[in-house]
Structure 1
Amino acid sequence: MNGIWYYVIAFILIWILSLTFKKQLTNHGFEIEFPVIMWKTKRLRGFINGIANLSPKFWKWFMTIGLIICYGAMVLMTYTLIQSLSTIVEAPQVSIVLPGVDMPGSTIYVPFSYGLIGLATVIIVHEFSHGILARVEKINIKSIGLLLFAVLPGAFVEPDEEELKEASRLARLRVYTAGSMANITLALIAILICSAVSTMIIPNEFSEDGISISRVIEGSPADKVLKEGMIIESIDNKSVGSSNEYLNIVANTTPHQNLSIVTDQGEYVINLDKNPSNDTRGYIGIQATKHYELNKDVSAVWGNQLPWIWFSVAELFQWIFILNIGIGLFNLLPLKPLDGGHMFEILLSYKLKEETYKPIVKAVSIILAIIIVVSIIYSFL
């Protein structure tokens, strides 16, 4: 079943139950106004205070450096988004990503379980970092909570808006920077762990033995022909013994080419389609990964099952990296209500009067929002 149906079913069940028991839920701190369900609490404020008080000087120093990094990322992201207009018809660079769902036009498929865990890390570190820096800057936190937008989960830390407005511009910048800076930091930690597992542990415990199919994309030429778990032995009579050999063969395919693929379960002929990212190349419609065999000396010590967990560890941290860096950087676009929009507005306020910088921020926000919406529409088409 296409992953989108899990979201549809969850949406129907959640909203039937929430509207049916709205009164009881409201009495327990829930706020239900379609399409948003919010739950607020004050219990975690002590936890955030404790982290903030561990070393206020460190947090200020770290986020001051973060300002330089995040403003640089803002410029890069804005330039990249504008540049994407040149390829918007052939290969849109912006698309919606949902864990477990094949989104039209998206070249990224996020596995359901890894995606949910990755998104949880994005939300938690982002929002808690806002709260930590708010307390470092002596801004009170009104509440902390969870939210559900339609069916998509989220979290929030609600600082006192009046105190935030009265804080110095540098203090506000640190607060707004904190979320994305935390995501970028976590992304770096995650990719270091993923790299360590992939380059130091897995090669020592396993031997590469060809290519296996990890996923068959629904509606692609390979759909209902190839299956997940098949090991590819050769393509068009060319041996596939490593990932490099596989990539070289696939890179030289063309649309509408008949491709002979020999697997451990038989031989199949597939008529290729146009590649969504490059219409001059052929498109099979599979995701392939290296196939490994466990070394005998490792299995003698740890057995035949336990060592395989390293692949799950590497993939989990890979998705934590991808989601944190992607969402963290996107949030830095100078587009309100994103954090980057607030940072852009504060930066302009150093040199411009309110009646000048407000319209500038509004105009930039509208332009970038139009580019994003158009890119998403083109990706679906």
Structure 2
Amino acid sequence: MARLPDFRQLSDNVRSLDRARAEAFLQAHWRLLVFLLVLLLLGGFSPSSGFTKFALLVAVWVTTLRWAQNEDRLEPLGLDLIWGRSFLMWRTDHGKRFIERMAQYGTVWRRFGDVGLVMVYGTMVTMLLLLVWQAFLVSSVPKSAAVSPKLMLGLPGINPVIPLGYGVAALAIAVVVHEFCHGILARVAKVKLKALGLLFFAAPIGAFVEPDEEEMIAMRRIDRMRLYAVGPASNITLAFLFALLFSWGMVAALEPAHDGALTASVMGDYAAGEAGLEPWMLLTSVNGTSIKSAADFGEELNKTWAGQNVTVQALDKGQPRSFDVTLDDKGSYYLQYYPDYYEPWMSGKGFLGVGVTDQAAVTEGLAHPAQDGWSLLRYITLPFLKLQPFPEHFTALFEPSGLPGVLPDGLFWMTANLFYWIFWLNLMVGMTNALPAVPLDGGFIFGDSVAALLDRLKRPVLSAERKEEITDRLVSALAILVVALVVWQLVGPRLIGTDVVFLQARFDSSAEEGWNGDSFEFDASSSVGGFVEWEWDFGDGITASGEQTSHAWDTGKAYYVVLTAKDADGRQSRAYQSIVIDQRSEGDGDVDALDGATETIATNPYIDEVRVEISVTGDNLIFSSSVTVTFSPPEGEVRQQSITVGSGNTQVLDWIAQGKVGDWTVELESEDFEFSYIVAWELDYRLSAE
């Protein structure tokens, strides 16, 4: 009789087999799985997160490589996996002849290696201190401003600020120069080169020269340190040379194509943005007045007031355009965005909503970036300012001159852009490789430096094994520190970055409009944030303190009341409110026969309407007085009327005019006999243009 299979035993065998496979899988891939999990946690498991997308890229790339290696698909193609079976390496013998020819100049290369060591030590210390300094700043970085992982990778196509074409060309130059210099110093020291090749991680990320490992170990320590140093030193040297070519050769040859003020920035919610002005347009006139420079623009705009309609002429990519703009209020803008720089005189002044500079200032900063720290910082951060590659708005503003000017315009700008990116990526590659973290060049140099110091120690006496152990531990510890500091730039702000502290100064006023001399009450008790200090600025040179206060204005105008509230930690918030003050003013006097008098009043921005009542009384006991009254606005129609008043009699003239900023005058002139007068003004202000 046939026996039935033991299904329980079969099930146990299957489970044992599955468990063994799972254990083998985890043992082979646990580092990758942990890395992917960390990326997913950082991305909050959100499909749209950059961390999640990068995790998917890593998973697909590494899985494909390991499958290909297990299937023996890589070795026949000269390919191999390194560094955790995650990076692909391709070996070749091409380039060895060139290295051999260059290695003939051994003395020159040794001296360059010595200089390179000094450069790398300096860069190593600078970069390490910079990373430490940035680590302490992490807690003050808002969580919303944490650095994207893409910006930490200097790879064209992944890093959004690096253009693909220029980036690939410049990175190829940087990597080839770096590795060939390693190879040349290896041959200068008579070390055999096994192969040259390229490294890939989803894309080409580097090149390499592979010296014989045993011969590398047997090299003199100073020769080995030179070999490592020339890589980053060659990149930094090349960066310096191409910076000179870019600045002194290309940018210095640029001449402004037109006069004007350059719009370096445009505020979208203000007049310029709403009218269609854009960054890197050249402003050539305001209301028909020619603009030659940024100073001209500022001077002309300070003659305008909020609500005024002006016409702005500009060049857009070299083409003339006209914009009709209703100006905003300069004081309001500064109160909202730059309250520390607000001054009362700004209120009522016209504001276009652009930041301007001179064209020469732009090229001067690029041609001589080392003149100050800010110029150097702007020079290095041109890609983040969207000024590299040079945009069309920029190229239309300048004309090449001198020897570079013989190039066609398109070729000139392509060459300038390429020079900049060769500078930029060589600098990044050189500085990164100088970091004291194995497998970077700086890490190996640091290890040899530690070993050299230990060899010089006379006490305590250490064995060779002990020295090697100490060196390995120090090198590993510093490498872990460097990696941790770099990762901390990504993770730190998201973990301990600042949350937005809700501080909101608020206040209520007893009214928003009144007459000069009226008392207004202000109360800041509705503020949120635990404030302990309150400072008030009423826009007329008068200030006050306290949670509640009051104020009266002497002169009509649209004022901004500014409250600055501070908490116990010195953090502050500002609030402001417009108060419209209409003005009543009166002047009187006695005028002798054949004499005259003048009454003048000044109006401020936001003036809407001017009303004047002129009362003239005859003072001669016998004869009537003939009086000529002239009413003059700052601009426009002058009104004049002659009246005759008998002794003790009064005539009243009422005139109303649309408000204009400036001096208004009433002139009274006696044609024969004496008289007296009263001139009563009423100035009505409005907050915005109709």
- The verdict on a shared fold, with TM-score over 0.5 as the criterion, is yes
Q: Measure, in 2, the Cα distance between the counterparts of 1:226 and 1:15.
A: 49
Deviation at 1:152, TM superposition (A): 4.0
Q: How does 1:97-176 map to 2 (within 5 A)?
A: 97=153, 98-101=155-158, 109-176=161-228
* Amino acid across the alignment from 1:87: L
Q: Measure, in 1, the Cα distance between the counterparts of 2:112 and 2:190.
A: 17
Aligned CA distance change for structure 1 residues 340 and 32 (closer, same or farther; 3 Å):
closer
Q: Measure, in 1, the Cα distance between the counterparts of 2:158 and 2:221.
A: 41
* Amino acid across the alignment from 1:166: A
* Amino acid across the alignment from 2:107: K
* Amino acid across the alignment from 1:131: G
Deviation at 1:366, TM superposition (A): 1.3
Q: Map Cα deviations across residues 2-54 of structure 1 (whole Å, 9 max, x no partner).
A: 9x9x999999999999878986764342336864332211232122111111x
Instruction: Report the counterpart of residue 47 of structure 1 in structure 2.
Output: 98
Aligned CA distance change for structure 1 residues 44 and 32 (closer, same or farther; 3 Å):
same
The reply on whether 1:360 has 2:474 as its aligned counterpart is yes
Instruction: Report the counterpart of residue 434 of structure 2 in structure 1.
Output: 332
Q: Measure, in 2, the Cα distance between the counterparts of 1:226 and 1:102.
A: 30
Aligned CA distance change for structure 1 residues 243 and 143 (closer, same or farther; 3 Å):
farther
DSSP 3-state at the match of 1:164: helix
DSSP 3-state at the match of 1:27: helix
Count of residue pairs the alignment pairs up: 339
Match among 106, 122, 145 for residue 72 of structure 1: 122
Q: How does 1:270-285 map to 2 (within 5 A)?
A: none
Instruction: Report the counterpart of residue 152 of structure 2 in structure 1.
Output: 96
The reply on whether 1:317 has 2:419 as its aligned counterpart is yes
Instruction: Report the counterpart of residue 229 of structure 2 in structure 1.
Output: 177
Q: Map Cα deviations across residues 175-227 of structure 1 (whole Å, 9 max, x no partner).
A: 11010011011111111110123344223x8557654899xxxxxxxxxx989
Deviation at 1:132, TM superposition (A): 0.6
Q: How does 1:258-297 map to 2 (within 5 A)?
A: 264=316, 287=386, 290-293=394-397
Q: Measure, in 2, the Cα distance between the counterparts of 1:364 and 1:78.
A: 10
Tell whether the 8 Å contact from 2:198 to 2:204 is kept in structure 1 after alignment.
no
DSSP 3-state at the match of 2:386: strand
DSSP 3-state at the match of 2:152: coil
Q: Measure, in 1, the Cα distance between the counterparts of 2:294 and 2:207.
A: 40
Aligned CA distance change for structure 1 residues 226 and 63 (closer, same or farther; 3 Å):
farther
* Amino acid across the alignment from 1:111: P
Q: Measure, in 2, the Cα distance between the counterparts of 1:296 and 1:194.
A: 13
Match among 101, 108, 113 for residue 63 of structure 1: 113
* Amino acid across the alignment from 1:41: T
Q: Measure, in 1, the Cα distance between the counterparts of 2:217 and 2:228.
A: 12
Share of identical aligned residues, percent?
30
DSSP 3-state at the match of 2:121: helix
DSSP 3-state at the match of 1:335: coil
Q: Measure, in 2, the Cα distance between the counterparts of 1:244 and 1:330.
A: 42
| Larger RCO, structures 1/2 (Cα 8 Å, 6+ apart) | 1
Structure 2: where are the runs of 5+ without partners?
1-47, 266-274, 298-311, 328-332, 342-352, 356-383, 455-466, 498-690
Could you say which structure has the higher helix fraction?
Answer: 1
The reply on whether 1:30 has 2:64 as its aligned counterpart is no
Match among 231, 243, 255 for residue 191 of structure 1: 243
Tell whether the 8 Å contact from 2:260 to 2:283 is kept in structure 1 after alignment.
no
| TM-score, scaled relative to structure 1 | 0.70
Q: Map Cα deviations across residues 128-166 of structure 1 (whole Å, 9 max, x no partner).
A: 111110000111100011221123432111011110001
* Amino acid across the alignment from 1:309: L
Tell whether the 8 Å contact from 1:147 to 1:154 is kept in structure 2 after alignment.
yes
Aligned CA distance change for structure 1 residues 244 and 361 (closer, same or farther; 3 Å):
farther
Q: Measure, in 1, the Cα distance between the counterparts of 2:450 and 2:206.
A: 30
Q: Measure, in 2, the Cα distance between the counterparts of 1:323 and 1:245.
A: 39
Instruction: Report the counterpart of residue 453 of structure 2 in structure 1.
Output: 351
Q: Measure, in 2, the Cα distance between the counterparts of 1:52 and 1:64.
A: 16
Instruction: Report the counterpart of residue 527 of structure 2 in structure 1.
Output: none
Aligned CA distance change for structure 1 residues 100 and 143 (closer, same or farther; 3 Å):
closer
Aligned CA distance change for structure 1 residues 101 and 345 (closer, same or farther; 3 Å):
closer
Q: Measure, in 2, the Cα distance between the counterparts of 1:11 and 1:165.
A: 34
Deviation at 1:62, TM superposition (A): 1.2
Could you say which structure has the higher strand fraction?
Answer: 2
Tell whether the 8 Å contact from 1:209 to 1:291 is kept in structure 2 after alignment.
no
Q: Measure, in 2, the Cα distance between the counterparts of 1:227 and 1:41.
A: 55
Q: Measure, in 1, the Cα distance between the counterparts of 2:400 and 2:176.
A: 41
* Amino acid across the alignment from 1:346: D
Q: Measure, in 2, the Cα distance between the counterparts of 1:330 and 1:337.
A: 11
DSSP 3-state at the match of 1:157: strand
Q: Map Cα deviations across residues 317-349 of structure 1 (whole Å, 9 max, x no partner).
A: 112111111220121111112111111111111
Q: Measure, in 2, the Cα distance between the counterparts of 1:213 and 1:375.
A: 30
